[in-house]
Chains A and B, each alone.
Chain A
Amino acid sequence: DAKTTQPPSMDCAEGRAANLPCNHSTISGNEYVYWYRQIHSQGPQYIIHGLKNNETNEMASLIITEDRKSSTLILPHATLRDTAVYYCIVRVDRDDKIIFGKGTRLHILP
């Protein structure tokens, strides 16, 4: 079973920051938080991952709480192309299998 909980859907206005929450209260000390997204009819796409510290790349920022029981994915300036299902996942390392939960369906509104 997936070890994360996400809201089933969210709306965000185009150009605004999209903040997607994820709860992972049973995360172990050696587990990373990963985010993927799946745009309709495509394979999942890696976004970002982190262990303890906040992370930022060209796509998004990842904010992990100090107790590591939850995190937030931030898309700083959402566009219509960011409409997708976003999956938050915990895994031990990069060779670990990925167990997907239901994810959050993000709608970007024009």
Chain B
Amino acid sequence: SAVISQKPSRDICQRGTSLTIQCQVDSQVTMMFWYRQQPGQSLTLIATANQGSEATYESGFVIDKFPISRPNLTFSTLTVSNMSPEDSSIYLCSVAGPSTFFGQGTRLTVV
């Protein structure tokens, strides 16, 4: 099993600013995923992050808004740029595997 640490666990940010969320895994993994969960909704996949290549974004998500880094096989970051109140959500990272583990999420509130 993989242990995933996400930071920060929560934050309150001003509109127009950016927040970078970190995801650290205790083992090397090829593929990592970033999800958004808006209040009362299911999880929506933002992008797939492979080490050594550009992230692949799902429809409705763009790199300028959600830039992703994947510098090595145990770490990734997601930045939420130029935030607005509509970006208030829980953001989760996950790693592929037989059980596909998820972090505990970052609860973001934009005011």
Residues of A within 8 A of B (CB): 34, 36, 38, 41-46, 49, 85, 87, 94-103
Cβ-defined contact, B92 with A97, below 8 A: no
Q: In whole angstroms, what is the CA distance A74 to B69 when docked?
A: 39
B53 at the interface (CB under 8 A from A): no
Minimum Cβ distance to chain A for residue B6 (Å) = 8
Q: Which residue of the partner chain A has the closest CB to B35?
A: A100
Q: Which 8 A-B pairs have the closest CB atoms?
A: A43-B102, A46-B99, A95-B96, A100-B43, A100-B42, A94-B98, A44-B102, A43-B104
Chain B residues positioned under 8 Å from A46 (CB to CB): 99-101
Chain A residues positioned under 8 Å from B45 (CB to CB): 97-100
Is chain A's interface secondary structure helix, strand, loop, or mixed overall?
loop
Cβ-defined contact, A98 with B94, below 8 A: yes
Kindly identify which residue among B42, B94, B101, B104 contacts A103, using a CB–CB cutoff of 8 Å.
B42
Chain B residues positioned under 8 Å from A94 (CB to CB): 96-98, 100
Q: In whole angstroms, what is the CA distance A38 to B105 when docked?
A: 12
Minimum Cβ distance to chain B for residue A48 (Å) = 10
Minimum Cβ distance to chain A for residue B90 (Å) = 8
Cβ-defined contact, B94 with A95, below 8 A: no
Minimum Cβ distance to chain B for residue A103 (Å) = 6
Cβ-defined contact, B102 with A97, below 8 A: no
